[in-house]
Amino acid sequence: MAFNSHGDSFLYFWCGGVFLTLSVFPVIALAISDEQKRREKVQGLIHSSFRLFVRGLLAFGLIDLNISGRERLLRCQGQLIVCNHPTLLDVVLLIALMPKVQCIIKHQLWDHWFLGGVVRAAGYIRNDGDAGKLIANCSSILGLGENIIFFPEGTRTVPGKSLKLKRGFAHIAMFSECNIQLIVITCRPTTLIKGDKWYEIPKEKVKFDIFIDECLDISPYLEKKSQAKVVRKLTGYLEEYFYKKINYV
């Protein structure tokens, strides 16, 4: 069956998610008793599903996708994957590139009628607004060698407004003593930005560029005595970094 519109692809995406939540994930939960193995199985399935979805978007000419530095992701282990957040598709694109990766989920999504079943089955990290608990949970996951995707803006970028990062990623990196894998995503024309409906897709093909930069070594920051100052400095550095990359790529 051909896609009749850009919105059709997302309709199929949601339907596929509902199918996995209602049928496949419950079977995995019953078949695999070990929590870590069950989580890894579900995350692998989500990766495969997202990868298939992205391939469909490419095959039907809905998007173009250019990836630079993909080999750097293969070396990531126990790292914070810090990325800007221009569109609703960002997390889909990143998970499609990484077979095993953790995400931080807002507590409102935990009981969502559709997404809740997916994130619970995958064992993603729940953010209840308790900063100390979140940092400890992330540190534990990173200590196991797993990677975590983090969007430091906290929400999708608002075009035309200056980029402002929240400091949570810096606190996690400092507490966990983990390096930061920097990723920059740009898309033209803008699509699925903050405030857009999932079906509000441009008629023209959208071009995504994903730049996977060198890993940021945080060891120089760990040598400083004042963690509060270091967190501010690290946050400021990344604000400047993303601003330059987004405006001059």
pLDDT confidence of 14, banded at 50, 70, 90?
Answer: low
What is the Rg, in whole angstroms, of the alpha carbon atoms belonging to the chain?
Answer: 18
Residue 36: what pLDDT? 77
Greater confidence (216 vs 17) lies with: 216
Q: Is CATH 3.40.1130 what the domain over 6-248 is classified as, yes or no?
A: yes
Given this model, what pLDDT does residue 12 score?
55
The secondary element (H helix, E strand) that includes residue 174 is helix 168-176
Q: What is the mean pLDDT of the chain?
A: 82
Alpha-carbon distance 96 to 125, whole Å?
Answer: 18
The answer to whether 193 and 84 are in contact (CB under 8 A) is no
pLDDT at 160 over 50: yes
For residues 49, 37, 125, 86, the Cα torsion angle rounded to the nearest 10 degrees is -30
Q: Is the pLDDT of residue 30 over 60?
A: no
Contacts for 12 with CB less than 8 Å, ≥ 6 apart: 56
Which residue in 217, 16, 216, 32 sits closest to 117, CA to CA?
A: 16
* Per-residue pLDDT tens over the stretch 163-197: 889 999 999 999 999 999 999 999 988 777 777 66
What percent of the chain stands above pLDDT 90? 38
* Percent of the chain residues topping a pLDDT of 70: 80
Q: What is the mean pLDDT of residues 12-24?
A: 54
Res 60 pLDDT > 50: yes
| pLDDT for 31 | 58
Domain boundaries, the chain: 6-248
pLDDT in tens, 62-118: 889 999 999 998 889 999 999 999 988 899 999 999 988 999 988 887 777 767 777
First to last CA, the chain: 37
Most confident of 28-32, 44-48, 93-97: 93-97
Give the pLDDT score at 242. Answer: 93
Q: Residue 5: is its pLDDT beyond 60? A: no
Q: Which residues, in sequence order, are bridge partners of residue 208?
A: 65, 187
